[in-house]
């Protein structure tokens, strides 16, 4: 599993799906997705009792080549590519090339790719390729919004048009100049049902499903897991059972009781992901407060300029009575929310994350959303474990 957004949840859902038919799937569930973490996963693995073991691995985009040097996979899953951690990856085409450098070592592996992402149809590859995507809207003709990345036709460099668009540059794209278009989909979302901040109902190839997590972007993750399940002959009924039984994944809309508050922790790390999170929580029907925590360590991305591309202005359209900003780069995120229009009298600035946790218990709403970069989320979880609100921190 590789790509910018959705690796961890897609991996967790896929493990649940495959476990329905092939018990004992090996994985790196904590998101330790670089070479060292994956080696550790195999070192800790117990020998299977019977049958050939299956491993489902989340792999950092730049580390695919470090894994395929030693392991030839049966399949790759490409979730999406958006601008992310530019100090590490550069632009989206550089990121994709890093992935393909690793894929080149496994030319017989099937690629299961997000067909709604134009970049995954931009190069001819020797591998067999199967595509998944959304196919639930009547055809129209329009362009993505201004400043959207990755909307140039990879064949003729004219601007792509869309028959339908989900978010970012993802959708049923086509080029009116040269005829380049979205490939034929093997696995389809055919209907969207009820959507809430904490759940999603939908149909895949006509089969009904529900996941206990909100957001269009997370339905893509479920669709990818469904595609892998179908590829490995897991039935729709078994896949539905897996989705129904799946627990919230670390940092992916997990809800924690903190002093009587329902605290939802969500990982944010790039503009597209942030915008999707804000879009999801904007449908919340109960009053909520919002906490934004920004760090800038290697695992977060040292360059924090992405916060200026995220649509924090959307927050001013919601009735949020209180905001808290914190983290090692609290000054940056505080200033960003100020520019977005968050008034000072609604805003608590607190660099110390222990005090942030204490402040959460004093917020005026029962529901609290915490948007945190990766290492900030780790730090908050350590504090919550220390104070007895959760049993485990990451990796335990």
Among all residues, which ones are annotated catalytic?
303
Handedness of CA 57, 62, 66, 71 (dihedral sign): positive
- The tokens 């199967």 sit on which residue? 130
83 appears as a binding residue in the annotation: no
Greatest Cα-to-Cα distance within the chain, rounded to the nearest angstrom: 62
| Cα–Cα distance, 273 to 374 (Å, whole number) | 13
| Cα–Cα distance, 225 to 222 (Å, whole number) | 5
CB 394 within 8 A of CB 311: no
CB 66 within 8 A of CB 103: no
H, E, C per residue of 246-273: CCCECCEEEEEEECCEEEEEEECCCHHH
Give the other-Cβ count within 10 Å of 357's Cβ. 23
* Chain centroid, CA 393 distance in Å: 20
- The tokens 């915490």 sit on which residue? 370
78 appears as a binding residue in the annotation: no
325 appears as a binding residue in the annotation: no
178 appears as a binding residue in the annotation: yes
Q: Binding site for Zn(2+), residues? A: 153, 156, 175, 178
Q: Binding site, residues? A: 153, 156, 175, 178
């Amino acid at each position: 599993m590789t790509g910018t957004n959705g690796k961890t949840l897609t991996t967790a859902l896929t493990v649940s799906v495959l476990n329905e038919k092939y018990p004992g799937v090996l994985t790196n569930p904590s998101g330790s997705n670089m070479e060292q973490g994956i080696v550790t996963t195999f070192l800790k693995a117990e020998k299977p009792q019977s049958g050939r073991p299956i491993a489902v691995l989340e792999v950092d985009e730049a580390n695919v080549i470090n894994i395929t040097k030693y392991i030839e996979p049966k399949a790759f899953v490409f979730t999406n590519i958006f601008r992310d951690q530019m100090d590490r990856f550069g632009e989206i085409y550089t990121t994709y090339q890093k992935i393909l450098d690793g894929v080149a070592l496994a030319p017989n592996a099937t690629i299961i790719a997000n067909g709604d992402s134009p970049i995954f149809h931009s190069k001819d590859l020797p591998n067999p390729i199967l595509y998944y995507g959304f196919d639930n809207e009547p055809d129209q003709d329009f362009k993505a919004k201004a400043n959207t990345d990755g909307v140039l036709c990879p064949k003729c460099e004219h601007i792509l048009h869309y028959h339908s668009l989900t978010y970012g540059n993802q959708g049923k794209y086509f080029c009116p100049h040269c005829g380049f278009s979205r490939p034929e989909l093997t696995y389809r979302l055919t209907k969207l049902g009820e959507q809430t901040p904490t759940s999603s109902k939908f149909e895949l190839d006509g089969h009904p499903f529900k996941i206990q997590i909100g957001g269009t972007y997370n339905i893509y993750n479920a669709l990818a897991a469904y595609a892998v399940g179908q590829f490995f002959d897991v039935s729709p009924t078994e896949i539905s059972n897996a989705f129904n039984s799946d627990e919230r994944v670390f940092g992916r809309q997990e809800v924690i009781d903190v002093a009587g508050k329902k605290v939802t922790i969500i990982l944010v790390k790039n503009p597209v992901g942030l915008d999707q999170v804000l879009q999801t929580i904007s449908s919340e029907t109960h009053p909520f407060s919002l906490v934004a925590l920004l760090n800038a360590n290697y695992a977060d991305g040292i360059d924090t300029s992405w916060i200026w591309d995220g649509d924090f202005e959307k927050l001013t359209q919601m009735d949020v009575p209180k905001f808290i900003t914190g983290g090692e780069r609290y000054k940056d995120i505080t200033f960003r929310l100020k520019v977005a229009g968050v008034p000072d009298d609604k805003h608590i600035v607190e660099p110390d994350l222990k005090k942030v946790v204490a402040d959460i218990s004093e917020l005026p709403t029962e529901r609290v959303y915490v948007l945190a970069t990766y290492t900030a989320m780790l730090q908050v979880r350590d504090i919550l474990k220390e104070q007895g609100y959760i049993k485990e921190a990451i990796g335990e």
